[in-house]
């Protein structure tokens, strides 16, 4: 049992990027797809193989069981609220320490009512944080999954890309890639080569998939630590920023309209209070067609609620060593897919 009280948020308290939130159930032909950087979801135990000492009780943050449970409940609250009357069907997550925290999230919070299945693989990130997937098997049947190891010529270690293929109600197949690219710690220009390397690895995998079937349906999501106009996405991955003359094999950035509008998912520098859009959803043109499984609208949405913000910024767990008890330093994003005859 959770030691904390979970409170359902009324729909009146929700807002999505200034747009009306759609809380209705999506039914058998709809999917709500979510991505969320949950900011350091660590358990309280020291893993001697990783640099996780900060998130132990003896560490700098004095991470405790109570704080851990509060973090789990905060994440569950966000997921359920974002879903509306029907919980999200697919959730890509990053900054997950291990399989156990995913088990705790899905079984020791109100998420236990929804029967989420877990996909997780350990990667070589020095801190031990990984990508993960939660999905509801009422609509999605997993075909396969694997980790895409990032070959960096041993110059650095980073998170693997998590790939999974699903069948949707036996009607269509969709291929997901969940990403968390190297951070800008040390400076954007100095660290850019790391993100370019990950982008090249991803591009090779996507090209291989499309070489077998150019109309394959691809959904890429993640925290790229780059924005839509940066080289890694615009040039290396060759992602289009406008949805004109759509071609099935091209990739399109569903987050670009928010970027163009000056919206973001995190405040990268607290003092300057500048919004950045690192969290993005990218799809193949085959998911922007009017038949089969396709996206609703031409953009994804940033989920915003009053309780996800603190002084206008994302309400995070810590500000330096000071415990705030919040949710994450990122806001989640989502979009709906529908199957059309």
| Confidence at residue 51, expressed as pLDDT on a 0 to 100 scale | 83
Where is pLDDT greater, at 304 or 20? Answer: 304
CATH tag, 20-340:
3.60.10.10
Q: State the average pLDDT over residues 260-275.
A: 84
| Mean of per-residue pLDDT scores for the chain | 91
DSSP state of 311: T
Predicted TM-score of the model (pTM): 0.93
> What residues have CB less than 8 Å from 190, skipping those under 6 apart?
none
Give the bridge partners for 144, in sequence order.
165
List the one residue out of 161, 256, 253 whose CA is nearest residue 202: 161
Q: State the average pLDDT over residues 163-189.
A: 95
Percent helix, strand and coil across the chain, each to the nearest 5: 25, 30, 45
Q: Which 3 state secondary structure label does DSSP give 160?
A: coil
Residues 200-258 have pLDDT tens digits of 999 999 999 999 999 999 999 999 999 999 999 999 999 999 988 999 999 999 999 99
Residues 66-115 have pLDDT tens digits of 999 999 999 999 999 999 999 999 999 999 999 999 999 999 999 999 99
Q: Per-residue pLDDT for 292 more than 70?
A: yes
Q: Per-residue pLDDT for 18 more than 90?
A: no
Do 330 and 36 form a contact (C-beta atoms < 8 A)?
A: yes
| Confidence at residue 7, expressed as pLDDT on a 0 to 100 scale | 37
Position 12 confidence tier, pLDDT thresholds 50, 70, 90: very low
Q: Per-residue pLDDT for 184 more than 60?
A: yes
| Confidence at residue 52, expressed as pLDDT on a 0 to 100 scale | 83
Residues 105-149 have pLDDT tens digits of 999 999 999 999 999 999 988 999 999 999 999 999 999 999 999
Give me the long-range contacts of 200-207 (CB less than 8 A, separation at least 24): 200/236, 201/148, 201/150, 201/151, 201/161, 202/148, 202/161, 202/177, 202/237, 203/236, 203/237, 203/238, 205/148, 205/161, 205/163, 205/177, 206/177, 206/237, 206/251
Domain ranges for the chain, please list them: 20-340
In the chain, what is the straight-line distance between the N-terminal and C-terminal CA atoms, in Å? 44
| Confidence at residue 235, expressed as pLDDT on a 0 to 100 scale | 98
Give the bridge partners for 91, in sequence order.
34, 134
Report the relative pairing of strands 274-276 and 251-253 from DSSP bridges. unpaired
Q: Within 10 Å of residue 50's Cβ, how many Cβ atoms?
A: 17
């Amino acid at each position: 049992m959770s030691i904390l009280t979970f409170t359902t948020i009324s729909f009146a308290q929700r807002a999505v990027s200034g747009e009306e939130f759609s809380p209705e159930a999506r039914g058998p032909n709809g999917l709500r797809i979510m991505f969320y950087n949950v900011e350091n979801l660590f358990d309280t135990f020291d893993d001697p193989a990783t640099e996780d000492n900060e998130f132990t009780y003896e560490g700098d943050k004095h991470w405790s069981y109570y704080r851990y449970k509060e973090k789990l409940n905060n994440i569950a609250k966000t997921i359920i609220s974002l879903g509306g009357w029907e919980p999200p069907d697919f959730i890509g997550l990053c900054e997950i320490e291990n399989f156990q925290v995913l088990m705790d999230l899905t079984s020791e919070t109100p998420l236990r009512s929804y029967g989420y299945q877990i996909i997780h693989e350990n990667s070589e990130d020095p801190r031990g944080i990984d990508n993960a997937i939660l999905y509801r098997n009422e609509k999605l049947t997993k075909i396969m999954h694997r980790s895409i190891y990032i070959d960096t010529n041993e110059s650095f270690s980073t998170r693997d890309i998590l790939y999974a293929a699903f069948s949707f109600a036996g009607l269509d197949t969709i291929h997901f890639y969940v990403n968390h690219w190297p951070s800008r710690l040390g400076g954007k220009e100095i660290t850019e080569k790391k993100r370019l390397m990950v982008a090249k690895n991803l591009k090779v995998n996507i090209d291989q998939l499309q070489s077998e079937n150019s109309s394959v349906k691809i959904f890429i999501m993640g925290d790229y630590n780059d924005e839509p106009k940066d080289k890694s996405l615009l040039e290396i991955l060759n992602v289009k920023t406008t949805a004109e003359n759509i071609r099935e094999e091209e990739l399109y950035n569903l987050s670009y309209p928010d970027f163009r509008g000056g919206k973001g998912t995190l405040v990268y520098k607290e003092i300057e209070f500048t919004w950045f859009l690192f969290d993005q959803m990218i799809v193949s043109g085959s998911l922007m067609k009017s038949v089969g499984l396709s996206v609703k609208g031409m953009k994804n949405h940033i989920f915003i609620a009053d309780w996800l913000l603190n002084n206008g910024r994302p309400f995070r767990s810590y500000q330096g060593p000071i415990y705030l008890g919040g949710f994450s330093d990122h806001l989640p994003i989502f979009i709906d897919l529908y199957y059309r005859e």
